């Protein structure tokens, strides 16, 4: 009986460790060059030198990427009936998807009364707005002035009794220089799940790729490690996105029918996303639990 209790205790500790949420990490960006923080792009588009300059090529540490007025476009499948529980949908900000849907367009919503106009996102509606809690006067190495970060996503989901649940998809953060043609994928994540409470939506991703020597996150011992190196060594850094959707399930006055069997809702989102790392203590407890259980099984035999 004691053996069973001990096994149960270890199993409980193992389960708790396995389900523990990852802890958010401090991070910084390394641009690898000073060209961005000693260059200023004036409002009229003129590029000049003489901006804020320091000797390093890295931003100050921050904890979250922030966004506001991010255009969210959801496309609902009407082939099996009106939008409701069981309806599948996808969210996108892809230019190719907008073109295939015929957006921009306008017309009367599914309520038969409300006029709805759909649009393609402008530059500000795909951008990361800030490296929170940094401000323009902090060490941001020209962020928002000489370079920026943009988002690109395609997410699949289904409406359930509890609201929208996301099942698969990708979320990408891109680097874009404002003083040269330089662009590259900074981070890409694969969706692992979602949760929604009232209007608060959380999306969870495994980071599957990262630009080399670009984003560094704090490790358990306080050292900063390149996210690309973490992935290369078999690690699994996480990305979590926190935003609000109101209402979570679209109403008829928000939906415009397109392409015969689809309806589209557009809204704007504010929120943050953070890079996370699995808690080492949780991994250690999980491993210890498995070893202890294996020992108990051998003893029982």
How many angstroms separate the CA atoms of 10 and 4, rounded? 10
Asked if residues 238 and 22 have their Cβ atoms less than 8 Å apart, the reply is yes
Say if residue 111 is in the same domain as residue 15.
no
DSSP 8-state secondary structure symbol assigned to residue 80: T
Closest C-alpha among 266, 269, 271, 268 to residue 76? 266
Say if residue 291 is in the same domain as residue 267.
no
Report pLDDT for 135: 86
Tell me the three state secondary structure of residue 243.
Answer: strand
Helical residues (DSSP H) of 78-237, grouped into ranges: 95-101, 227-232
Say if residue 82 is in the same domain as residue 132.
yes
Residue with tokens 């996210």: 227
Question: How far is residue 105 CA from its own chain's centroid?
Answer: 28
Of 277 and 22, more confident: 277
Per-residue tokens: 123: 């530059």
Say if residue 2 is in the same domain as residue 141.
no
Report pLDDT for 12: 32
Residue ranges making up the domain that contains 236: 22-278
Say if residue 215 is in the same domain as residue 286.
no
Say if residue 36 is in the same domain as residue 180.
yes
Mean pLDDT to the nearest integer, 63-90 = 94
Own/partner contacts of 93-98, CB < 8 Å, gap of 24 or more, are 93/121, 93/125, 93/126, 93/151, 93/152, 93/153, 94/152, 94/154, 95/120, 97/73, 97/154, 98/73
How many angstroms separate the CA atoms of 237 and 178, rounded? 29
Answer whether residue 226 shows pLDDT above 60.
yes
Report pLDDT for 96: 92
Mean pLDDT to the nearest integer, 92-117 = 95
Answer whether residue 17 shows pLDDT above 60.
no
Say if residue 298 is in the same domain as residue 205.
no
Asked if residues 51 and 40 have their Cβ atoms less than 8 Å apart, the reply is yes
Backbone φ and ψ of 163, nearest 5°: 120, -170
Say if residue 227 is in the same domain as residue 292.
no
Report pLDDT for 280: 56
Say if residue 148 is in the same domain as residue 286.
no
How many angstroms separate the CA atoms of 179 and 40, rounded? 9
Say if residue 163 is in the same domain as residue 142.
yes
Cα-based torsion angle of the residue sequence 236, 128, 212, 180 in order, rounded to the nearest 10 degrees: 170
Tell me the three state secondary structure of residue 233.
Answer: coil
Say if residue 111 is in the same domain as residue 189.
yes
Report pLDDT for 123: 80
Cα-based torsion angle of the residue sequence 186, 229, 191, 265 in order, rounded to the nearest 10 degrees: -10
Helical residues (DSSP H) of the chain, grouped into ranges: 2-19, 95-101, 227-232, 280-300
How many angstroms separate the CA atoms of 3 and 1, rounded? 5
- Cβ–Cβ contacts within 10 Å for residue 135, how many? 9
Say if residue 74 is in the same domain as residue 195.
yes
Answer whether residue 1 shows pLDDT above 70.
no
Calculate the average pLDDT of the chain: 84
Answer whether residue 15 shows pLDDT above 60.
no
Mean pLDDT to the nearest integer, 175-184 = 94
Report pLDDT for 136: 78
DSSP 8-state secondary structure symbol assigned to residue 58: B
294 — pLDDT class (breaks 50, 70, 90) = very low
Q: How many domains does the chain have?
A: 2
């Amino acid at each position: 009986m004691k053996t069973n209790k001990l096994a149960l205790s270890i199993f409980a500790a193992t389960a708790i460790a396995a389900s523990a949420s990852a802890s958010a990490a401090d991070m910084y960006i390394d641009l690898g060059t000073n060209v961005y923080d000693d260059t200023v792009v004036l409002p009229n588009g003129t590029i000049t030198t003489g901006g804020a300059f320091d000797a390093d090529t890295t931003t100050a540490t921050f904890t979250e990427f922030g966004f506001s007025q991010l255009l969210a476009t959801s496309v609902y499948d009407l082939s099996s009936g009106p939008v409701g529980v069981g309806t599948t949908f996808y969210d996108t900000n892809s230019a190719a998807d907008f073109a295939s849907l015929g957006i921009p367009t306008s017309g009367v919503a599914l309520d038969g009364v409300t006029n709805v106009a759909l649009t393609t996102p402008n530059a500000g509606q795909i951008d990361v707005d800030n490296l929170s809690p940094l401000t323009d006067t902090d060490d941001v190495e020209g962020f928002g002035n000489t370079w920026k970060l943009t988002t690109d996503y395609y997410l699949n989901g289904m409406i359930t009794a509890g609201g929208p649940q996301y099942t698969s998809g990708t979320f990408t953060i891109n680097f874009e220089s404002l003083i040269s043609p330089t662009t590259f994928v900074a981070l890409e994540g694969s969706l692992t799940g979602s949760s929604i409470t009232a209007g608060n939506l959380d999306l969870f991703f495994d980071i599957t790729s990262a630009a080399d020597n670009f984003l560094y996150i704090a490790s358990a011992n306080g050292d900063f490690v390149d996210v690309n190196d973490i992935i290369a060594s078999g690690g699994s850094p996480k990305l979590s996105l926190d935003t609000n959707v109101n209402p979570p399930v679209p109403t008829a006055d928000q939906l415009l029918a397109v392409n015969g069997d689809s309806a589209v809702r557009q809204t704007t989102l504010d929120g943050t996303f953070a890079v996370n790392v699995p808690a080492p203590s949780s991994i250690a407890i999980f491993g210890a639990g498995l070893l202890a259980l294996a020992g108990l099984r051998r003893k029982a035999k």
